[in-house]
């Protein structure tokens, strides 16, 4: 916990052990922030806002560059910490660190490119100066699946824009957030600009922070269910919000697609982060003409993969973040099977630890729960379709709209991609995330964009000055 430049340990607070899900051993422990701590953190961010918002953009940029350099020099250490508290493989964690640090570098570059506007009114009676100013103290709430990237994707643009902040990481993975914040502290970020709290019960703590009326921006990444609650509670003080919520990504293999590319794309889109990604391909729609070949080749490919401790490089899929997550995934598979799904292939898993077998299923119809719920595990449900119109209809048959993947000849894939109700589309690619791209969803997958030029807009507001000619 870090409030107004002061770190607090576990000595005078309740303690929370952060567990390694691969072996059930405690990695470290953190203090649980009280409601008063959370309010103090907001006061601290509010107190630092005036001076931080007036710092030279170049100074804010330099701080972000220095943090990027410093964390980059310790990227292996950071990746190992992610493996320890989250369970993912070291390869996934290293990729996450690269992605996470890209946001610091990108927003170091953007800090000095915030543009305003200047125009003459149509009546010619005044000049209109349009300024873009930081929105105010921000509350940044992150989930456990990307312990570094979900922090930097918010902290980077917030700092660059001139906002101060209170960060609330997930209780499962607060140690990576602590390392990132510690780096900014060591680099001399002024007291109060970045605060870190770790309350034991997020709901009341966040309500209390919002009730201060000092938070002007809420950026949340997590489930749609919690996003809905937060949209309601931010309405009270009309807080600007960014919501990066759940996904249910369709993965489409069109007639004539390269099966080899589609199989590799599916592996990437599904198994990155062990399937615990909002961007994970949730349901695979495969044209009936190639469904048998695709299923067979995907099963063959999966049979070469191993699930096990993230520390061992031989494993493609590590542990899920907790036993509870494994239980949730197993329940979904059981339910899917009761509704007619057929298990084609399942890998082995270690005897102990929060591991989930990579599972391939077919015989699924569009009503099956595996096509409706976000699975968040290494599970591939295959649904067959007959034509493009049906594929688009099935893909859009969800309240979510984060990302979709389409494999096929480029023209057909682009045509289908344009018809999908999502914020992002991978065309013959299993990965879309990039710090330079606007990340975000439509429908109930969220509001706003992170990364890219758009990412900094989320922390700015427009102010106009009228000057008589
Ligand atoms: P979650 O349960 O919604 O939790 C996310 C964060 O919200 C955690 O920090 C959690 O704190 C906090 N939280 C929980 N209840 C809250 C409440 N009532 N008020 C305020 N904050 C609350 O989600 P998760 O299970 O950690 O993460 C998985 C979800 O995140 C998936 O749905 C996934 O799709 C989504 N996700 C979306 C994106 C995206 O960019 N669209 C990226 C990654 C993940 P505690 O840990 O203390 O409970």
Q: Which residue positions in the chain have pLDDT lower than 50? A: none
Distance CA 328, CA 189 (A): 41
Nearest CA to 184 out of 207, 164, 213, 212 is that of: 164
User: For residue 31, what are the contacts with CB-CB under 8 A and spacing of at least 6?
Assistant: 1, 8, 9, 10, 12, 13, 14, 15, 16, 198
What pLDDT is attached to residue 449? 98
Domains along the chain with CATH numbers: 2-246+443-468 (3.40.605.10), 249-399+403-427 (3.40.309.10)
What pLDDT does residue 134 have? 98
The 8-class DSSP code of residue 397 comes to -
Q: Which residue minimizes the CA distance to atom 40 of ligand 1? A: 244
Task: Return the ∠ at Cα 415 (arms to 411 and 416), rounded to 5°.
Answer: 120
Instruction: Give dist(CA 317, CA 134) in Å, integer.
Output: 41
Mutate to test the pocket of ligand 1, among 92, 152, 199, 202 (most ligand atoms within 8 A of CB): 202
For residue 142, give the ligand 1 atom closest to its CA: 9
The contacts of residue 229 (CB under 8 Å, 6+ apart) are 203
| Bridge partners, 25 (sequence order) | 20
How far lies 77's CA from each of 232, 315, 394, in Å?
Answer: 39, 19, 43
CA of 309 to the centre of ligand 1 (A): 24
* Distance from Cα 221 to the centre of ligand 1, integer Å: 6
Both tokens of residue 293? 């070949």
Output the pTM of the full model: 0.98
Task: Write out the catalytic residue numbers.
Answer: 244, 278
Ligand 1 mean position, distance from CA 224 (Å): 8
Of 223, 376, 440, best ligand 1 pocket probe by most atoms within 8 Å of the beta carbon: 223
- Per-residue confidence (pLDDT) for residue 244, from 0 to 100: 98
What digits encode the pLDDT tens for the residues 207-225?
Answer: 999 999 999 999 999 999 9
| Residue 432 contacts residue 290 (beta carbons within 8 Å) | no
pLDDT of residue 11: 82
Q: Catalogue the E-assigned strands of 233-328.
A: 240-244, 249-253, 281-287
Closest atom of ligand 1 to CA, residue 247: 34
CA of 428 to the centre of ligand 1 (A): 29
Q: Which residue pairs from 205-208 have beta carbons closer than 8 angstroms and sit at least 24 positions apart in sequence? A: 205/33, 205/35, 205/38, 205/168, 206/38, 206/139, 206/141, 206/168, 206/230, 206/233, 207/233, 208/35, 208/38, 208/39
Question: What are 381-395's pLDDT values in tens digits?
Answer: 999 999 999 999 999
pLDDT of residue 12: 81
């Amino acid at each position: 916990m870090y409030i107004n430049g002061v770190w607090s340990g576990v000595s005078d607070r309740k303690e929370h052990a952060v567990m390694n899900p691969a072996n059930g051993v405690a990695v470290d422990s953190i203090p649980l922030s009280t409601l008063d701590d959370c309010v103090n953190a907001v006061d601290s961010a509010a107190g630092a806002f005036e001076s931080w918002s007036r710092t030279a953009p170049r100074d804010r940029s330099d701080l972000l560059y220095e943090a990027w350099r410093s964390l980059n020099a310790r990227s292996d250490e950071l990746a190992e910490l992610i493996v320890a508290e989250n369970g993912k493989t070291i390869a996934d964690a290293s990729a996450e660190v690269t992605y996470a640090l890209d946001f610091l570098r990108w927003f170091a570059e953007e800090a000095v490119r915030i543009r305003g506007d200047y125009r003459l009114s149509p009546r010619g009676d005044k000049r209109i100066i349009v300024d873009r100013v930081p929105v105010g103290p921000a509350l940044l709430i992150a989930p456990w699946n990307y312990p570094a990237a979900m922090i930097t994707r918010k902290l980077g643009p917030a700092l660059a824009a001139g906002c101060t902040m209170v960060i609330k990481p997930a209780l499962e993975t607060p140690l990576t957030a602590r390392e990132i914040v510690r780096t900014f502290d060591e680099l001399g970020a002024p007291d109060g600009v970045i605060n870190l709290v770790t309350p034991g019960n997020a709901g009341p703590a966040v309500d209390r922070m919002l009730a201060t009326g000092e938070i002007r921006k809420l950026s949340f990444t997590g489930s749609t269910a919690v996003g809905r609650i937060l949209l309601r509670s931010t309405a009270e003080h009309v807080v600007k919000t960014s919501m990066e919520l759940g996904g249910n990504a369709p993965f489409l293999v069109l007639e004539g697609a390269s099966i080899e590319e589609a199989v590799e794309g599916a592996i990437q889109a599904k198994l990155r982060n062990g399937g615990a990604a909002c961007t994970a391909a949730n349901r695979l729609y495969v044209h009936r003409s190639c469904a048998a070949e695709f299923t067979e080749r995907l099963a063959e490919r999966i049979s070469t993969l191993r699930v096990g401790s993230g520390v061992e490089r031989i494993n493609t899929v590590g542990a899920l973040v907790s036993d509870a997550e494994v239980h949730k995934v197993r329940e979904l598979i059981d339910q899917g099977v009761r509704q007619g799904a057929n298990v084609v292939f399942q890998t082995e898993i270690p005897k102990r630890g929060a591991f989930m077998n990579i599972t391939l299923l077919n015989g699924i119809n569009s009503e099956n729960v595996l096509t409706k719920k976000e699975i968040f595990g290494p599970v591939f449900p295959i649904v067959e379709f007959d034509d493009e119109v049906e594929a688009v209809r099935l893909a859009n048959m969800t309240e979510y709209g984060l990302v979709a993947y389409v494999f096929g000849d480029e023209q057909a894939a682009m045509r289908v991609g344009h018809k999908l109700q999502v914020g992002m589309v991978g065309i013959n690619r299993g990965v879309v995330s990039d710090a330079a791209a606007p990340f975000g969803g439509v429908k109930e997958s969220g509001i706003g964009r992170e990364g890219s030029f758009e990412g900094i807009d989320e922390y700015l507001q427009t102010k106009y000055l009228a000057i008589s000619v």
